[in-house]
Every structure is written in C-alpha cells, then in structure tokens.
Amino acid sequence: MTTGKNYIGESLSAKGKTTFKTINPELNLENETVFYEATEDEISEAVLLAEEAFKTYGTISDIKKAEFLEAIAEEIESLGEDLLTTYVNESGLPAGRANGERGRTTGQLRAFATMLREGSWVEAIINKTEGKPDIRRIQIPIGPVAVFGASNFPLAFSTAGGDTASALASGCPVVVKSHPLHAGTGELVASAIIKAAKRTGMPNGVFSNLNSGGIEVGKTLVEHPSIKGVGFTGSIKGGTALCKIAANREIPIPVYAEMGSINPVLILPSALQNEGEKWAKNYAGSITAGTGQFCTNPGLILGVDSKELENFISILALEIDKLEPTCMLHPAIKSQYEKLKSEVLEQQDYTQLTNLDKEVKPNYALQNVISVDGNTFLKNKTFHKEVFGPFSVVVKCDDIEQLNKIIQDLEGQLTGTVLNADLKEFEDFKEVIDNLKNKVGRLVFNNVPTGVEVCSGMTHGGPFPASSDAKFTSVGLIAVKRWVRPVTFQDWPDQLLPSALQDSNPLNINRTVNDIITKNPI
C-alpha cells in the first residue's frame, strides 16, 4: 500500500504542502495516491541521518552488506502483485516488462552480494620490501550518495536499481530522489529496503526516499554539503545541470550521469548482401522495443549507398509499419517525443520511410524512420539529435571516406554496433571502426544494442554526452568504483590495518602483493 509520504530513514514523513499525483498513461488518467514533495527540512534530515549512518555502515563487513542486499531482493519479491500492478499503472509498460525488470533488479542486488562475499573488489595492494616503507592501499566508501530515479526503468534504474545497489555495496548510505512518474512504485520499493535494513540490523538512515514533482528537491539534495556523490540516469539537460550544481559547491563532488545517445549502427556491405532482410527485421524490433524508450535505442543506422542498402531500408520501413504503436511513459514524454521529432521533420532533404497517417491513442507513439544522404547529415546537426522514442535515421553514405567523416563528427555514445558477414571486409573499414570505438563505451558485433547485460565486463557509459565521465559504468559490478576512493596506509601496525590488508589475509581474498596477485599470507 502506498501512502504518498517520504521515507526519512525508517520514518514516514509528509511535512510539506506541495503535492502531486502520478498518471496512468495507458488510461490517460491520474492515479489516486497523493504524494507529498519533500521539504528542505526533510531533505536535510534524510542527509544528516545518512551521514550518521555512514559512521557505522561505512565500516561494517562485506558479509553483513551482502546479507542486506540479499534481504532487499527478497523483500522486493515479497511485494508480489502489488508492485507489478503499481508499476504498470504508473508507466504504461506491460506486465511482462514489469516482471522482467523486477527480476533484473533483484538479480543485480544478488550479484553485488556475491561480489561482496568474494571480497576482492576492494583492490588490496601491498608493497612490503626490506629497507623501504611498508605501503598498503585499499578502496573505501566516499560517504552518503544521492541517487536520481530514472523515468524509463521504474525498477532497474531507480529506487533499488544499479546506482543504489552499487552504492550500498560500497558502504555508502543512499538518499534517493524518487522519479515523479512512478513515485508509487518507488515508495513500495523503498518500503522493501527499509524492511531489509531493519531485518539485517543496518543503521537508521542507511536509506531514504524523497518525493519530488519538480527540480527543487534534487537541486537541494545535491547542494547539501554532506552528500559526497551523485548517480543520475536521464536527459543531457538534467545531467549537465546537476554537474554544474555539484561543481559549484564549496566542496565539489562527482556526478556520474548517464545521459544521451543515438547509438550508431554501422552496416558493412557483406551484412547487407547476406543477411539484409534478417537485420532489417531485427532492427525494426530494436527501434520500437519499449516504445523506443531505451537509452540504447538504435537512433542512427549508417551504410554505404547500394542496392542492398536500399533493400534493407525498404524492408525496415515495412516491418516497422507492421508493428502497432505502443504507449509511452507519460504525457510529458509523449509531448517531448513529438516536439523533437517535429524538429527533425521540419528539415529539408530527407526521405520519409514509414507511414505517418495512422491514428494513435493518447500517449501512444507512432514509430518513424527517415533516410538522408551523407552530405545532408554532415551539414545538418539536427539529424544528429537524440529523439527519445521509436525514431531512427538511416544515412546513405557515398563511400567509406564519407562514412568515416560522419563517425568522426559524432558526439560520444553509449554504444556503437558493427554488422558484418565477412571478416576480410574489416581491413577496408579498419579506420572507420577504430574511430567508432573511440566514440563509444560498448562496441557491439552482429547484434542489436538494446539490452544491457549486468556483469563485471559491462560498460554502460561513454564519452560525453553519453555520460559525464567515460571512465565509469552505471551497469555491472564495476559500477561500485564510482562510490569508493583509494586510501594508503604507510608503516601501520598489522593489527590496526583493515582486515583486507593484514599480513595473514584473514578474508582470503586476492591481493596484489609486491606486484603479484595472490591469496597467500605475507
């Protein structure tokens, strides 16, 4: 059951007068629950509780943190149909997607718990040589972290999503700024986290959840001097605004923002000659998956002009036109989609490929694909813009040289994809692919970019504006690196060192001792 209140640590609170409701985009009606936006006092109380909790939580064992994360997963699952129903009513997404995203959310919590139980994530380094200082280094948590829920993933990138899971794994308390589009889903998940915290003996304040219908709560939260880092998934506008706020503080803090991407797809000639129809059908599904509301949506498809490329384009358009339009997350997101799409369609010298005459329900998005030649794309940056929704641009390049220029002209991206059926072809496109690699965080071969595996090798980030810092990922176990910093102990007594650095290696973890990775005691 949702109350519409904020979780300030373990306590529910509704001191403010500013309220809002979520919307069921499928029905185009407001949901019943009234949500109370957090006041400045409630924000401060949540952060100060987190600061106090950090004194304990930042030093507890990895085993205890693992138990906490596993308990969160169990409590989320115990919410049952109530969570799934609320998710669907607030997002317009189908029940199957809700169930799958819940599984991903609990799966990544358990993955971080497994990482903690193994223990080597702390990157213990020991340099102990006769006649030299005894130097030992380890990663420690930075302190209370602010996490912003994402609009397009009410579970996996929100209240208990990857940012929260990785921060809690690192030892950082979390204050979530819940997304207003799915505040009810957020409150239910928050209640599960609080239950798990109590159940496993975590300190009050290790987690809080703040409601917000606008931007003021997030701004105030990031400005608070006790917040030491920020996790954000959303628009370039929102992410860059947070980066500026964080940089202008008396003591600046890092903002790990995952923002915009059009995810270029490079189709080499052999892929079109051998499997053009297959790829056209696959990409029709990828462009429209989740109503195009994935940060990895393939918004740009590039190829050298040929009969095979024309055939691919024709099949892609036909396959997309076969698909029924689906519901977007919110009227405001549908409105923004139409606005950005209109800006592109107001340009000159493109070919409309899909049918724009279909009638659609309120908040449903009509999918759209257009094509342009390479010269037009190079001259007109409007065609480079991300249109958040089921929209994609196919660029017909004159030759490899022009294709290379286009790749070099692109901004940073989350993903880049290469479709190929003959590896001998790579020699001709080597420079193009090398340039694509330098623009992206993940390079995909013979697949679609939609779908992000949660694992230690994943990079979900990329050069700006795909993310604010290309050295980090917001998905996978390595995401924990955002919330830690190294500290070196020099000539400390063994019994006073953290367990991970003690001579006997009581945690039995992998450590780098005099530049050799080993579990052996010293």
Residue 260 · residue 386 · CB < 8 Å:
yes
CB atoms within 10 A of CB 46: 29
Secondary structure of residue 20 in the 3-state scheme: strand
Secondary structure of residue 359 in the 3-state scheme: coil
> Torsions phi, psi of 517, nearest 5?
-80, 125
Q: How far apart are CA 90 and CA 154, in angstroms?
A: 9
Beta strands in 108-253 (DSSP E): 125-127, 135-141, 145-148, 174-177, 207-210, 229-233
Q: State the DSSP code for 479.
A: G
Q: How far apart are CA 384 and CA 407, in angstroms?
A: 11
Which amino acid, residue 254? P
Q: How far apart are CA 245 and CA 238, in angstroms?
A: 11
The residue annotated as part of the active site, out of 258, 308, 319, 386, is 258
Count of helix runs (H) and strand runs (E) in the chain: 14, 25
The residue annotated as part of the active site, out of 26, 51, 187, 295, is 295
Residue 151 · residue 295 · CB < 8 Å:
no
Is 172 designated active site? no
- Give the CA angle between residues 405, 410, 415 to the nearest 5°: 120
Give all strands of the β-sheet with 391-397 in edge-to-edge order. Answer: 351-352, 368-373, 391-397, 300-304, 264-267, 413-419, 440-445
Residue 177 · residue 218 · CB < 8 Å:
yes
Q: How far apart are CA 218 and CA 126, in angstroms?
A: 40
Name 401's Cβ contacts closer than 8 Å, sequence gap at least 6: none
Helix (H) or strand (E) holding 110, with range, is helix 95-118
Q: How far apart are CA 465 and CA 228, in angstroms?
A: 22
Q: How far apart are CA 320 and CA 291, in angstroms?
A: 12
Q: How far apart are CA 207 and CA 198, in angstroms?
A: 11
Is 295 designated active site? yes
Q: Which residues are catalytic?
A: 258, 295
